[in-house]
Chain A
Amino acid sequence: EPEVTQTPSHQVTQMGQEVILRCVPISNHLYFYWYRQILGQKVEFLVSFYNNEISEKSEIFDDQFSVERPDGSNFTLKIRSTKLEDSAMYFCATKGSIVGNQPQHFGDGTRLSIL
């Protein structure tokens, strides 16, 4: 069964450093999402991406965050200057169509630890 692949599985970074989280979507999927889950809290929406542009972003997704799909396969989330509160699990999800009744499929996540 096709799956969403995320790398790395765990990233440890010093506060203030830049990190890039990578996601390889399911091959025929067109809609991409990033979510995060801080320990003990809900899974929260960060950003959605379609047709090479952001379609919606949450309040969390401030100027420190950016997304792109540089080579038509990888979908990346960059955090420019990490803060302690960025420590969380980051999940990539993809969907084949904008039609509502299709599920998003999630990767196994990247655990980001900011020291």
Chain B
Amino acid sequence: DQQVKQNSPSLSVQEGRISILNCDYTNSMFDYFLWYKKYPAEGPTFLISISSIKDKNEDGRFTVFLNKSAKHLSLHIVPSQPGDSAVYFCAAGGGSNYKLTFGKGTLLTVNP
């Protein structure tokens, strides 16, 4: 099941620079997209979301962009901080129950 794909298993950036995490999806029925952050031994923590009627949503240092025609979304973190180091999951939902379909995650490392 590859409905949500995160093709980069890992990303390393310098503190203060921009982190860009990417996600692709194949199911046109998805209409709500989320990013979660996960530290070891903890559950996924909600970060930011976007509805399919929008193409951008911003919350502080975090911005999510949605390109529906390309079925692609991205998460921008600027400036990146060492505390942002974690696994980032892209998730998509739709339908009556809004179950979430997750990508495999991208391990972000922000170096001081």
25 residue pairs from A and B, CB less than 8 Å apart:
A6-B43, A31-B98, A35-B100, A41-B104, A42-B1, A42-B102, A42-B105, A43-B100, A44-B102, A45-B100, A45-B101, A48-B97, A55-B97, A56-B97, A56-B99, A91-B44, A93-B100, A95-B98, A98-B96, A100-B31, A100-B51, A103-B34, A104-B100, A108-B42, A109-B42
The residues of B that contact A50 with a CB separation of less than 8 Å are: 97
Task: Indicate whether A109 sits within 8 Å of B43 (C-beta atoms), given known contacts A101-B51, A103-B49.
Answer: yes
Chain B contact residue count (CB 8 A cutoff): 27
Most buried by A among B32, B44, B93: B44
> Which B44-102 residues sit within 8 Å CB-CB of chain A?
44-46, 49, 51, 89, 91, 93-94, 96-102
The residues of A that contact B99 with a CB separation of less than 8 Å are: 33, 45, 48, 56, 58
Interface residue ranges, B against A (CB under 8 Å): 1, 31-32, 34, 36, 41-46, 49, 51, 89, 91, 93-94, 96-105
Most buried by A among B1, B96, B99: B99
A15 at the interface (CB under 8 A from B): no
Interface residues on A, range: 20 to 34
Q: Pick from B1, B94, B98: contact of A98, CB below 8 A.
A: B98
A114 at the interface (CB under 8 A from B): no
**Could you tell me the distance between the alpha carbons of A31 and B45 in the complex, rounded to whole angstroms?**
17
Query: Chain A 17-48 against B: per-residue CB contact (8 Å), 1 yes, 0 no?
Result: 00000000000000101010000011111001
